[in-house]
Homo-oligomer: A and B are copies of this chain.
Amino acid sequence: MRTAFYISDGTAITSEVFGHALLSLFPVEFNHITIPFVETAEQAEKVNDKIAKKFKETGERPLVFYTIVNLDVREIISNSVGINYNFLDQFVAPLEKILGIPAKPEKHRTHSIHEKTYDIRIEAVNYALANDDGANLDNYGEADIILVGVSRSGKTPTSLYLALQYGIKAANYPFTEEDMGDMLRLPARLRHFKSKLFGLTIAPERLHQIRSERRANSRYASMRQCRMELREVENLYRRESIPFLNSTKFSVEEISAKILAETGLQRKKY
């Protein structure tokens, strides 16, 4: 199996995302190795030794994806025995021409605490935790969005992702049997913030499966109960014109991107 290295004097997240996207186009497996925070010439030489060792072991030149601000470190890695992808570099000169200004690389400008919106993101994470699962109905005024849906339809991971990645304050509220009675009605508390509501739904089969992993053979996990709850919430979304999406086939990344695209909600971080 060929090895792919991801190297940076920062977190190496950018190298990973780029390399992963490129390699995902090929129907083979790779052995992934990330080496972040390579900040000195000495560390860079050691990285090159690792690349050389892997080449010797496998007989295949490793792929090396890197973004490095420090010039000395970059120079060393660019001379590794791997197949080197300094993938940002070739875009810099043309972009300098277009923008009419020289690039001014600085370390840790992405994925760092120095990003202007860093504190906003951490505050949003704390908000999501404090307002998870209907735990706290007093702070909905602060919410950027309130995710609603039945238990285990994907509200909590989505709230956390929106907070961590985008600095969006997402509360979430689970509709329970108590809310349902004869027919699910919108709780008064939520009605007050109706413009912030976004509904999630999910296929009954998938919900049954997820709930069964949690509480096998319970009424809570039964197909009958899952179907009933989902029918009620979907009827509510339609009756009250609450925008919603079916999360069955989507990851938290996809659900979050769809919510942003559909609601026009402004993210705090790019």
Chain B residues near A132: list those with CB within 8 A: 129
Chain B residues near A20: list those with CB within 8 A: 110, 270
Is A37 in contact with B258, judged by CB distance below 8 angstroms?
A: yes
Q: Map CB proximity to B onto A107-123 as digits: 1 under 8 Å, 0 otherwise.
A: 01111110100100010
14 CB < 8 A contacts A-B: A11-B257, A13-B17, A18-B88, A20-B110, A21-B110, A25-B88, A25-B92, A27-B101, A28-B99, A36-B260, A85-B91, A87-B91, A111-B253, A113-B251
A236 interface residue per 8 A CB criterion: no
Report the separation of the CA atoms of residues A257 and B115 in the bound assembly, to the nearest whole angstrom.
17
Is B104 in contact with A25, judged by CB distance below 8 angstroms?
A: yes
A249 interface residue per 8 A CB criterion: yes
Chain B residues near A18: list those with CB within 8 A: 14, 17-18, 88
Report the separation of the CA atoms of residues A133 and B21 in the bound assembly, to the nearest whole angstrom.
35
- Among A138-146, A157-165, A187-195, A216-224, the stretch that binds chain B is A157-165
Partner of A260 from B34, B104, B156 at Cβ < 8 Å:
B34
Chain B residues near A12: list those with CB within 8 A: 257
Is B104 in contact with A26, judged by CB distance below 8 angstroms?
A: yes
Chain B residues near A95: list those with CB within 8 A: 22, 26, 63
Report the separation of the CA atoms of residues A98 and B16 in the bound assembly, to the nearest whole angstrom.
19
Is B254 in contact with A92, judged by CB distance below 8 angstroms?
A: no
Shortest Cβ gap from A104 to chain B (Å): 5
Chain B residues near A77: list those with CB within 8 A: none
Give the residues from 155 to 180 in chain A that come closer than 8 angstroms, CB to CB, to chain B: 156-157, 160-161, 164
Is B26 in contact with A252, judged by CB distance below 8 angstroms?
A: no
Shortest Cβ gap from A220 to chain B (Å): 16
Chain B residues near A252: list those with CB within 8 A: 122, 164
Is B67 in contact with A99, judged by CB distance below 8 angstroms?
A: no
A103 interface residue per 8 A CB criterion: yes
Is A157 in contact with B105, judged by CB distance below 8 angstroms?
A: no
Q: A18-B18, A28-B101 are in contact. List 11 more A-B contacts (CB 8 A).
A: A11-B254, A14-B21, A25-B88, A36-B258, A36-B261, A37-B258, A85-B91, A87-B87, A111-B254, A112-B251, A125-B157
Shortest Cβ gap from A108 to chain B (Å): 8
Shortest Cβ gap from A208 to chain B (Å): 15
Shortest Cβ gap from A89 to chain B (Å): 10
Interchain residue pairs A-B with the least CB separation, the first 6: A111-B253, A11-B257, A17-B17, A14-B21, A25-B103, A24-B109
A76 interface residue per 8 A CB criterion: no
